[in-house]
């Protein structure tokens, strides 16, 4: 199985390209964006050396499903998905804040809590919680969106004080974030999953707020299995989850947390397959559909043919 780890396409009408940690974004004429979901995987803001077969397809198709299922809440950038790894949509001016929302004390919030912190991004976290407990109500913990390096936690108050986002826009972002999280929570529950935490990114198009990038994928979200959640909490056991957290844990166990001087471990092929299987499992679990593996013999050629055909017909 091949994995798409690099993309160096030249599409018709291409003006520029931005290579992200996972996605490569091609800006075409007429403000058309082509987003290629690669099979790269990142953790602790570092790209791991090996790609994960079918990961990009999973991300692209899960995101497409959720974007289509939430367009009644907020307009989004997506127009078409002409290839399993490709989304085409409208170019927007990105809002430089990630809207992170957490329903449970997990991941980064849990790590901060264990250090004794009870305020995250200006939001109080109750005393007496243990890892993976549910918050009384979901909390929004924004982050500034960095072009390179680490995104930084920031409070609502700091965002407004620094005028990173105007107050009226930010209040709408909070509203959309809570509504999207509620919809995602409901959809996950129907599939026996708990949407633990996630992040949303927004942009502006002709003054209108637009939902951009991906939503509710295993790269941007954390899911627990609902079955057994309560008993595992009572027994102080780790939750069974579908997310990238197990990759982070593997890296931690192998001495890497993205800190200076640490060397990135190489994932053995057996672990790569486990990661790929976990992504496919999440796809099937969250969508309720069997995963249809795309042709991987020559992924760049397949993408080029499918996109050129779409551009010719649009």
Closest CA to 37 of 1, 77, 86, 91: 86
Which structural domain, as residue segments, surrounds residue 60?
Answer: 1-93+165-314
Number of domains in the chain: 1
Give a yes or no: residue 108 inside a domain: no
Give a yes or no: residue 129 inside a domain: no
How is 167-236 classified by DSSP, letter by letter?
A: HHHHHHHHHHHHHHHHHHHHHHHHTTEEEEEEEEEEEEETTEEEEES--SSTTTEEEEESTTHHHHHHTT
Give a yes or no: residue 128 inside a domain: no
Give a yes or no: residue 83 inside a domain: yes
Give a yes or no: residue 120 inside a domain: no
Handedness of CA 149, 112, 55, 210 (dihedral sign): negative
Dihedral of CA atoms 280, 290, 213, 78 in degrees, nearest 10, equals: 160
With a threshold of 0.85, does the pTM exceed it? yes
The predicted pLDDT at position 163 comes to 94
Cα separation, 241 vs 118, in Å, equals 25
Give a yes or no: residue 126 inside a domain: no
Give a yes or no: residue 142 inside a domain: no
The predicted pLDDT at position 114 comes to 97
pLDDT in tens, the chain (314 residues): 799 998 889 998 999 999 988 999 999 999 999 999 999 999 888 899 899 999 999 999 999 999 999 999 999 999 999 999 999 999 999 999 999 999 999 999 999 999 999 999 999 999 999 999 999 999 999 999 765 556 799 999 999 999 999 999 999 999 999 999 999 999 999 999 999 999 999 999 999 999 999 999 988 899 999 999 999 999 999 999 877 778 988 999 999 999 999 999 999 999 999 999 988 988 999 999 999 999 999 999 999 999 999 999 98
Give a yes or no: residue 259 inside a domain: yes
CATH at residue 36: 3.30.200.20
């Amino acid at each position: 199985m091949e994995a798409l780890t690099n993309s160096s396409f030249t599409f018709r009408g291409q003006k520029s390209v931005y290579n992200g940690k996972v996605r490569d974004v091609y800006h075409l004429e007429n403000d058309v964006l082509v987003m290629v979901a690669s099979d790269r995987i990142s953790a602790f803001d570092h790209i791991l050396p090996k790609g994960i077969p079918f990961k990009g397809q999973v991300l692209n198709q899960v995101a497409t499903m959720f974007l289509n299922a939430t367009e009644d809440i907020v307009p989004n950038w997506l127009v078409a998905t002409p290839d399993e790894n490709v989304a085409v949509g409208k170019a927007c001016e990105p809002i430089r804040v990630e809207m992170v929302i957490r329903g449970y004390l997990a991941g980064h919030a849990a790590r901060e809590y264990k250090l004794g912190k009870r305020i995250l991004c200006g939001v109080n976290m109750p005393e007496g919680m243990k890892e993976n407990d549910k918050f009384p109500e979901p909390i929004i913990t924004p982050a500034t969106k960095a072009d390179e390096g680490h995104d930084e936690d920031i409070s609502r108050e700091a965002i407004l004080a620094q005028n990173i986002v105007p107050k009226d826009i930010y209040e709408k972002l909070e509203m959309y974030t809570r509504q999207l999280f509620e919809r995602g929570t409901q959809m996950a529950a129907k599939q026996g999953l708990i949407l633990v935490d996630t992040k949303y990114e927004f942009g502006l198009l002709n003054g209108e707020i637009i939902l951009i990038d991906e939503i509710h994928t295993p790269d941007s979200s954390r899911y627990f299995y609902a079955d057994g959640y309560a008993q595992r909490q009572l027994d102080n056991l780790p939750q069974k989850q579908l997310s990238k957290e197990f990759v982070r844990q593997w890296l931690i166990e192998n001495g890497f947390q993205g800190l200076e001087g640490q060397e990135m471990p190489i994932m053995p092929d057996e672990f790569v397959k486990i990661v790929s299987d976990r992504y496919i499992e999440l796809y099937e679990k969250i969508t309720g559909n069997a995963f249809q593996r795309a042709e991987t013999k020559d992924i760049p050629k397949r993408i080029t043919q499918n996109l050129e055909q779409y551009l010719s017909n649009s």
